[in-house]
Amino acid sequence: MRTLVQPGTPLQPRRLLEWAAPALDLRVRLASGQDLLSGLVGALAARGITHAAVQVLSADIARMAYLTGAEDPSGARVATYGPPTWLAGPVTLLGANGILGPGPDGDILLHCHAVVVDADGGLHGGHLPPGDCLLGASGAVALATPLREAAFAAAYDSETNYPLFQPRKIPA
Amino acid sequence: MSETATFEEGRLERIAVVRIRPNEDLVTAVEAACREHGLQHAIVRSAVGSLVDAVLEAGDRVIEVAGPGIEILTLNGELRSGADGEVVADLRGTIADGKAQVYGGRFRRGENPICITLELVLQEWVPA
């Protein structure tokens, strides 16, 4: 198994785990014409939910971009994102997982990776940049699991030189 | 008479909010996190992350994908503790490499090092 030398000193512990309390899940239906990620962030925020695990169960997409990984030519990090790949619709989402939580500046982010099939039957997948996934006619359905007592919040990670979601206890 | 289906009644309880740091193996690190925190049985609820390189199994095929920066697109599966108390993870999913090629399969133990991070949410399965 190949490992990579990260820009910063390895941090301990290597595995982090915090316990969150179970809560009722929410099935969220998004109407067409909005962005998948900002639509979910906005809909959940309106219900007071800013920390969640999200599964997108279905989505019809009119146009979208995704990013895949690449080596970082600057050497500042072991990997970065390449340029976006744009897909014209109709694109059918097959699955997507997301983590909702506050980003480095406190704004709520949905970190989401998806696998989709394009209009010609080709498979694609990667990181979804916010604002670049316009929902088509039948919109999207997602299952959100709110995280209480513990959740993810972004903080600068000196090992990887990225701001990353970290498990955190949430004060009641 | 052999049984064609077996059931286990139970419910989903506590939620584990997990991060795995770089260069740790996906399967063994998730098992270790469960062992360290007394999580015996669990299912994957959501996961977002990346791998240095990936090795997947699909039937008799072994799919080797070179990174770095392979994106984990979807992750499904469960963790179960056997009679000996050892937690074993069975994790399957889809990935995309740097050329946006998509692959799927079962993640082979010991051969899927985390690249930047794995953000993972597990939910405990408690048999009745």
Give ipTM to 2 decimals. Answer: 0.96
Q: What is the pLDDT of residue A32?
A: 97
Nearest Cβ partner for A98 among B23, B48, B99: B48
Q: What is the pLDDT of residue A94?
A: 97
Q: Which sequence spans correspond to the domains of chain B? A: 10-127
Tokens 């740091």 locate to B21
Count H helices, E strands: chain A? 1, 11
Would you call A80 and B19 a contact, using CB atoms and an 8 Å cutoff?
no
| H-run or E-run covering A25 | none
- B8 and chain A: CB distance < 8 Å anywhere? no
Backbone φ and ψ for B34, nearest 5 degrees, come out as: -65, -45
Q: How many other CB atoms are there within 10 angstroms of residue A62's CB atom?
A: 16
**Contact criterion met (CB below 8 Å) for B103 and B95:** yes
The answer for B 42-81 residues in CB contact with A (under 8 A) is 45-48, 50, 52-53, 67-75
The answer regarding whether domain B10-127 maps to CATH 3.30.1330.80 reads yes
pTM of the model: 0.96
B3: Cβ contacts below 8 Å, ≥ 6 apart: none
Which pairing describes strands B54-58 and B61-65: parallel, antiparallel, or unpaired? antiparallel
Query: Exposed, middle or buried: residue B101 (CB in 10 Å: 0-12, 13-18, 19+)?
Result: middle
**A57 to each of A17, A60, A120, A139, B46, how far by Cα in Å?**
26, 11, 21, 11, 12
Average pLDDT for A124-137? 97
CA distance B84 to chain A (A): 23
**Contact criterion met (CB below 8 Å) for B29 and B82:** no
Run means of pLDDT, 10 residues per run, chain B, 128 residues? 88 97 98 97 98 97 96 98 93 96 98 98 97
Q: What is the pLDDT of residue B3?
A: 85
Would you call B68 and A79 a contact, using CB atoms and an 8 Å cutoff?
yes
Distance CA A14, CA A16 (A): 7
Q: Please list every residue in chain B whose beta carbon sits closer than 8 Å to the beta carbon of residue A124.
A: 96, 100, 102
Domains, chain A, with CATH or none:
32-152 (3.30.1330.80)
Mean pLDDT, chain A, whole residue set: 96
- The string of DSSP letters for B85-101 reads --EEEEEEEEEE-TT--
Place A21 in a pLDDT band, splitting at 50, 70 and 90. Answer: very high
**A112 to each of A14, A143, B74, how far by Cα in Å?**
23, 13, 10
